[in-house]
Amino acid sequence: MQSVAQVTSSTDQRSLADSVTSMHLLPNNIALKSMNAERLLTRFLQYVQIDTTANDAVSDYPSSPGQLELGQLVVQQLQEMGASNVSQDRHGIVMATIPAHDRPHAPVVAFNAHFDTSPETSGKQVRPQVIRNFDGQDLSLPGDRTQVITAATCAELPLAKGQTIVTSDGTTLLGGDDKAGVAIIMELANTLLESREILHGPVRLLFTCDEEIGRGVRHVDLERLAADVCYTFDGGGRDTVDHETFSADLATVTIRGVNIHPSIAKGKMCNAVRGLCELVMRLPRDLAPETTDKRQGFLHPYSIEGGVAQSQVRILLRDFDTAKLTEHAAVIHRAAREAEQAVAGIRIDVEIRKQYRNMAEGLAKDPRAVNLAVEAHKRLGREAQLSIVRGGTDGSQLTEKGLPCPNLSSGQHNIHSPLEWASLDEMVAACEVGIAIVQRWGEA
CA atoms of 96 and 369, how far apart (whole Å): 21
What is the distance between the alpha carbons of residues 394 and 212, in angstroms, rounded to a whole number? 9
Q: How far is CA 115 from the centre of its chain?
A: 9
Bridge-based pairing of strands 407-413 and 229-236 is: parallel
Residue 400 to residues 213, 328, 404, 407, Cα–Cα distance (Å)? 17, 22, 8, 14
Q: Which residues pair with 165 in a beta bridge?
A: 131, 423
CB atoms within 10 A of CB 161: 12
- The active-site residue, picked from 116, 242, 249, 426, is 116
User: Which of 51, 178, 187, 211 is an active site residue?
Assistant: 211
Nearest to 298 by CA among 333, 334, 324: 324
Does residue 194 carry a catalytic annotation?
A: no
To the query of whether residue 242 is one of the catalytic residues in this protein, the response is no
Contact between 142 and 169 (Cβ < 8 Å): yes
Cα Rg of the chain (Å, integer): 23
The answer to whether 378 and 437 are in contact (CB under 8 A) is: no
Annotated active-site positions, please?
116, 211
